[in-house]
Amino acid sequence: MKKIFNSVILYAGLFIAFILVLSCLQLYENANRLFGNKSSDSNYWLTFSKKITPDNIGRRELLGFNEKDIAGLKQWQEVKSVHPFSANEFKASANGGDFIPFYTDLYFEGVDLKAIDVPLTEEGFQVKGDEIPIIISREYLNLYNYGFALNQGLPQISEDFAKKIEVNINIVVNKQNKTYRGKMVGLSDRIHSLLIPKKFLDSLNLAEKPQLAHQPKIFNRVLVQVKDSGDESLVSKMKEHNYESNQESLRSAKIKSKLFLVLNLISLLGIFIFALCLYIIVSFIKIQFLEKQEEVSIKNSLGYSPKKMVSDISRQFCISLMIVLAISLAVIAGGQYFLAQSSISNGLLSMYINPLLWTVIIIIPVLVYFFVKELIYRWLIRSWKV
């Protein structure tokens, strides 16, 4: 009865240890699916700026990104590409004419077309005559429709209709006023700015400030393509260099780092329980040999190999270990199935556990088999010599 009770306690401990360790491995994969993972195929975009401090306020050479900063960013393992923004160095304003009676000062930015999430070609995004194509953030249109327009009694504008509206763009370059027709050609979810063709913007900047051609370039912001916006090492490097980005984009990194910390602690607990169970197993087998010392001695004198006797007991234990592992994985697979169907998963989780987890049914018992067999055999031979 005592032997059965000890066996039940032993295998229950192994079951808990396997559940803790294996479920943590599966939760690692689930967390990566939910918060994004580091992959050469993944594309996440962040806009970097430098944090404003009392030391760099008003000092563009310290607040902006120079060529050295950009070269350093390109060396980061987490970064795939860097696209600096050009900002207007001239005065610009816009008015809506009679249809939308408004007037506002403007700022423009330009960035490489390949970094913009609007399907336009170089031909389709360039200034033609006095017409300037403009890409604006979708958030700006929402802000107008659900904030400004409602409060001021102005008409709300759909995306399709917004592309048909033309506004007057007033630009002052080299003390000369010129009016263009601004036409929206796309809405960006990636870049919160007013974008116009970069070449056009750079040419106006040089016309306004010719000395820029002979000065080191300073960019106010840079658009960075990264492998994983939730990468803790990326967040750590940004903090080290005093870089900032959209905190909402980096929120997943903070959640993921805390989640992984908890999972690491649970994994360590599971490994500790597993090591404790192994110790109990070895002691358990030793007790079995001690209880049957006379029987073992007789078998040895009759020609039974001690190594074979130890091997038989180790094999029997490893078969039991396989069964416990299979039950543990079945429980985890069931949990994964229900988790994937829940609203928390948002359709991002697989219905099945990682197929590689099933290989532990073979790997762990085989490793434990050789470990236990060697350990017990050495102990048995040493005890007989004594």
Per residue of the chain (386 residues), give pLDDT as tens: 666 776 777 778 778 878 888 888 888 788 777 766 555 555 678 889 988 888 877 787 788 899 999 999 999 988 889 999 999 999 999 887 766 677 888 889 999 998 898 888 888 889 988 899 999 998 888 888 888 777 777 778 888 888 888 888 999 988 889 999 998 899 998 888 999 999 999 999 999 988 888 888 889 899 998 887 767 788 888 888 888 887 666 666 667 677 777 777 777 777 877 777 777 777 777 776 676 666 666 766 766 677 777 777 778 878 888 898 899 899 999 988 888 888 767 777 788 888 888 888 888 888 888 887 787 777 777 666 54
Rounded to the nearest 10°, the torsion over CA 266, 271, 272, 274 is: 130
CA quadruple 246, 248, 249, 252: dihedral sign: positive
First to last CA, the chain: 32
Best CA proximity match to 187, nearest among 143, 130, 236 = 143
Tell me how far apart the alpha carbons of residues 58 and 61 are, in angstroms, rounded to a whole number: 9
Query: What predicted TM-score, i.e. pTM, was given to this entire model?
Result: 0.62
Look at residue 102 in the predicted model and tell me its pLDDT: 74
Tell me how far apart the alpha carbons of residues 382 and 379 are, in angstroms, rounded to a whole number: 5
Tell me how far apart the alpha carbons of residues 151 and 83 are, in angstroms, rounded to a whole number: 37
Strand partners, 87: 109
Tell me how far apart the alpha carbons of residues 207 and 210 are, in angstroms, rounded to a whole number: 6
pLDDT tens for 115-149 read 898 888 888 889 988 899 999 998 888 888 888 77
Tell me how far apart the alpha carbons of residues 21 and 23 are, in angstroms, rounded to a whole number: 6
**Own/partner pairs, 176-184, CB within 8 angstroms, 24+ separation:** 179/130, 180/127, 180/130, 180/131, 180/132, 181/130, 181/131, 181/132, 182/94, 182/131, 182/132, 182/134, 183/131, 183/132, 183/133, 183/134, 184/133, 184/134, 184/135, 184/136
pLDDT tens for 147-194 read 877 777 777 888 888 888 888 899 998 888 999 999 889 999 888 899
CA distances (Å), origin 142, targets 101, 106, 110, 136, 301: 18, 18, 22, 11, 90
